[in-house]
Amino acid sequence: MDFRLSDEQRMWQESIHAFVAKEIKPNARLVDENASLKWDSVHKMGPLGLLGLFAPEEYGGAGMDAICAALAMEELGWACGSTALAIAAHNGLGCASVALFGSHELKSRYLPAAAQGKKPDGSYSRLAALALTEPGAGSDLKGGVTTRAELHNNQWRINGAKMWCTNAGVADFIVTLVRTDSSKSSHSLSMILVPSDSKGLHIGAAEKKMGVKGSPTHAVTYQDVLVPADHLVGEIGKGLSQTLAVLDGGRISIGAISVGLAQAAMEEAVQYAAQRTAFEHPLTSFEAIQWMLADAATEIHAARLMVLQAAWLKDQDKSFTKEAAMAKLFATEMAERVCRNAIQILGSYGYSQEYPVERQYRDARLMTIGEGTSEIQRLVIARHIISEYQ
């Protein structure tokens, strides 16, 4: 395993860093306060490839390797948790489902505009979303999904409700996990691409959240929504296994965003500690502060390597489910600790909205929940370990 980035990967990272430092980070506070993405910044992402990370080049995407995608997500996380989450869900959930499993027709029809951020008529496209979670089911999709789709006259008729869908209110399409047979077996779920202008599709108001406030999260209801039969994504009855494959990749992104959030919080803490004095000495002279900084730097480094290793395995077409779960588990819990300690180092200023660490802490808190909670990551890891050593 070789963790040295190639020249191309390093140049990509540097260019994304320069972009987010200028365009995204200075606006992160406003995005949080207004609970709204800064759309002119999102529109600038299309030409850079940030909206088509996983879309193949033949469908207008950037066709990036998983390492480049993880580097981009870390940079976005460093700049703004809300923007990073919206872009991660667009690429890694909505677009990736179509890119991985969609037919040539679906990919040709939906990916180019999503990936380039522009439609053929020159107008800006919106984002993509993936709706798995329901009001009554998140971790247990297999047993809990009740949204149903029935095939009649070459059309899917969809009825049900989804919850906590990132980007639903700003999406051109929502890939939706539905039950296509009445059993609760692993083969009873399927994925269907639902255009967001479908009649009978209702998007709730944006949820009011603790953090990642600028990343829009919505309830979605489906009332006799009719979608052409060819909008099935992948195979009928394969929705659960397809979802798990998409989430494996998504977990690398969430891990990477968490590394970025932690890196940003640590940088704030170091800068603050160097200029703030107490007892006639800078805070950086106190061992208690040094240890928090040393732990932060060490854990960020470890998490970054875990994220990149999971991405590297993905790029090598090797199994990466366990490593993605480990990376997500460690990186997200690490980010919470690092952001918490950054607040501690800044004292009362850390608790104030004047400094970004309280926002980073609130944003990091989500990462241990979305795309599979820490408990579910531990289940995935334990299952792998037990089967490997039995």
Ligand X SMILES: Cc1cc2nc3c(=O)[nH]c(=O)nc-3n(C[C@H](O)[C@H](O)[C@H](O)COP(=O)(O)OP(=O)(O)OC[C@H]3O[C@@H](n4cnc5c(N)ncnc54)[C@H](O)[C@@H]3O)c2cc1C
Active site residues: 371
Q: How many residues does this entry show for the chain?
A: 390
Q: In whole angstroms, how far apart are CA 129 and each of 74, 163, 211, 256?
A: 20, 12, 19, 19
Q: Which amino acid, residue 374?
A: S
13 versus 190: smaller Cβ distance to ligand X: 190
137 versus 302: smaller Cβ distance to ligand X: 137
Q: In whole angstroms, how far apart are CA 217 and each of 105, 206, 267, 355, 367?
A: 29, 5, 29, 25, 14
Q: Under the rule (CB under 6 A), what is the footprint of ligand X?
A: 89, 93, 129-133, 138-139, 164-166, 209, 212, 217, 366, 369-373, 375-376, 379
130 versus 225: smaller Cβ distance to ligand X: 130
Q: How far is the CB of 377 from ligand X (least distance, A)?
A: 9
241 versus 373: smaller Cβ distance to ligand X: 373
Say if residues 268 and 344 touch (Cβ distance below 8 Å): no
Q: In whole angstroms, how far apart are CA 79 and each of 26, 33, 89, 211?
A: 8, 15, 16, 15
Say if residues 97 and 191 touch (Cβ distance below 8 Å): yes
Q: In whole angstroms, how far apart are CA 103 and each of 61, 94, 206, 229, 233?
A: 16, 15, 31, 12, 7
65 versus 371: smaller Cβ distance to ligand X: 371
Residue recorded with tokens 């047979």: 181
- In angstroms, the CA 340 to CA 344 distance is 6
Pairing of strands 171-179, 127-131: parallel
- In angstroms, the CA 325 to CA 336 distance is 17
Q: How far is the CB of 235 from ligand X (least distance, A)?
A: 20
Say if residues 194 and 174 touch (Cβ distance below 8 Å): yes
Residues 6+ apart with CB under 8 A from 157: 149, 150, 151, 224, 225, 226
Structure tokens, 378: 């531990």
Helix (H) or strand (E) segment spanning residue 320: none
25 versus 90: smaller Cβ distance to ligand X: 90
Q: How far is the CB of 251 from ligand X (least distance, A)?
A: 11
65 versus 363: smaller Cβ distance to ligand X: 363
Q: Looking at beta carbons, which residue is closest to ligand X?
A: 138
Q: How far is the CB of 374 from ligand X (least distance, A)?
A: 7
